[in-house]
Amino acid sequence: MSGALISSVAPNSPAGLRGVLVGERLLSVNGRTPSDIIEYQQLIDGDHVELLLQRDGQPLARKVVIDKLAGERLGISVDSAIFDRIRTCDNHCTFCFIYQLPKGLRRSLYVKDDDFRLSFLYGNYTTLTRFTEFDLERIIEEKLSPLYVSIHSTNPELRASMLRNPRGATSLRWLRELLAAGIEVHGQVVVCPGVNDGDELVRTLDDILTEYPQLETVSLVPLGISDFSNEETMRSHTVAEAEAVVALAQQFQSVARELLGRPLVFASDEYHLLAERPAPLAEEFDSLDQAENGVGLVAAFVQSFADSSAMDKLGTGFFQSVDGAPAWGYRAQRTSSRDESDLAGPLTVLTGEYAQPILRELLDAHGFNDVDVVGVRNTYFGGNIKVAGLLTGSDVQRIVGELGSDRTYLLPDLCLSEDVFLDGLTLAEIDAHVIAVPTTGVALRERLTHAVRIGASS
């Protein structure tokens, strides 16, 4: 291990006042070498902290002693949440979207993780196929909860086949142990038509109710298929198949309410849209714990658009509350701030094809009838990819070329990472005035209201 690289030091913080520098590597804390940001947080929580630091190219390390209040933040941020090595996924799932990415994208997009630490910190899903007894002991001892587990099927042979990993047949035993220890777990089933739907999905949901009833929630989500997929057995859902999944989810919700007192099973918003049904409303959910997985995301957005005091900040994982944890991966900063006063010409909201009719109805209901809403067809990935988060710069450039550059475009920042689209184009390279807006109802409402005020005063 080379140690975590210190990426920032807060001024006037305990670390800053003791001369800790950006660019130094953290070799040990109180004589121990932490393997991740979770262990680091535990080590620095007391009132006396000893850091062993070293700069690249320097032969000697130096010790820094910091006295502070117990529980006080140290003031250091590091470049990665995992200090040793991310536990990568050794499954080869037939539906994995990473295998459907074209060549030439950023290297980080091709990294498959199956690390329980990233599940706890960021809400990533793990299949548990690389899980160990040591991992179980650590999770129980440190109460690392909640976790997020990909179930897909409780049929051992089918699960091993879908994951293309023989350990897929047995790794759900760890799920049983986690639940028995009182660890909160959210599950997901990526439903593949003709593979784990129909009778197999009924079996999975039956098993979940009988063998894993302590699960907090279980989401049913459709697979995404791009034009780059080479899997002959993978295909998009028909409307009838989507309707069947929604109906099955509702059926098992009723059973779960009767047996457990809570709904447990949810079909994602995307399934409702595929079935040509309206997405569920906020009152249909006991919680929005799986909103980032597409369960109740529409409800949360609509609710917060209408009422700014409603819950608007969605997010799974604990990275925000762990001292120094970086906004890793898809948690990275979406975009830099833009000039909000420069709103020239007509206003157009760009989004994915799924969200277009929802946004149109929402804006009309709140008096923003003069704002255009355009669902951008995803020609880059093709297939059944219609979500806003996978919009690419080339498709945004194509649509603004068709509509013209004499208007202002509002774009959900969900499709960006540090101003860069998935295909490598940057926001600045789009030949039009495009403003990235946080992908929340409150943020869009505020930006639209601001635009109306600017227009009224000009």
Q: CB atoms < 10 A from the CB of 241, how many?
A: 20
Rounded Cα distance between 234 and 194, Å, is 8
pLDDT in tens, 282-297: 777 777 777 778 888 8
Whole-structure pTM value? 0.90
Which residues lie below 8 Å from residue 361, measured CB to CB, with a gap of 6+? none
Q: Is the dihedral of CA 321, 326, 332, 333 positive or negative?
A: positive
What is the per-residue pLDDT for 456? Answer: 45
What is the per-residue pLDDT for 311? Answer: 55
Q: Which ranges in the chain are annotated with CATH 2.30.42.10?
A: 4-78
Rounded Cα distance between 382 and 377, Å, is 8
If you average pLDDT over residues 349-371, what whole number do you get?
Answer: 95
If you average pLDDT over residues 267-281, what whole number do you get?
Answer: 91
Pick the CATH number of 333-457 from 3.30.70, 3.30.300, 3.40.50, 2.40.50: 3.40.50
DSSP single-letter state for residue 364: H
The angle, 0 to 180 degrees and rounded to 10, between the axes of the packed helices 133-142 and 172-180 is 30
4-78: CATH superfamily: PDZ domain (2.30.42.10)
Under 8 Å between Cβ of 96 and 131? no
On average, the pLDDT of the chain sits at: 90
If you average pLDDT over residues 18-35, what whole number do you get?
Answer: 95
- Cα–Cα distances in angstroms (integers) from residue 72 to residues 6, 45, 75, 187, in the given order: 18, 7, 9, 34
Strand intervals (E) in 329-441: 347-352, 372-376, 408-412, 433-437
What is the per-residue pLDDT for 104? Answer: 79
What is the per-residue pLDDT for 132? Answer: 96
Lowest mean pLDDT among 127-131, 155-159, 325-329: 325-329
What is the per-residue pLDDT for 458? Answer: 47
pLDDT bin (cut points 50, 70, 90) of residue 56 is confident
pLDDT bin (cut points 50, 70, 90) of residue 454 is low
Q: Which ranges in the chain are annotated with CATH 3.40.50?
A: 333-457
pLDDT in tens, 77-94: 998 999 988 899 999 999
If you average pLDDT over residues 190-210, what whole number do you get?
Answer: 97
Which residues lie below 8 Å from residue 405, measured CB to CB, with a gap of 6+? 431, 432, 433
Q: Which of 75, 83, 153 is nearest to 118 (CA)?
A: 83
Name residue 63's beta-bridge partners: 52
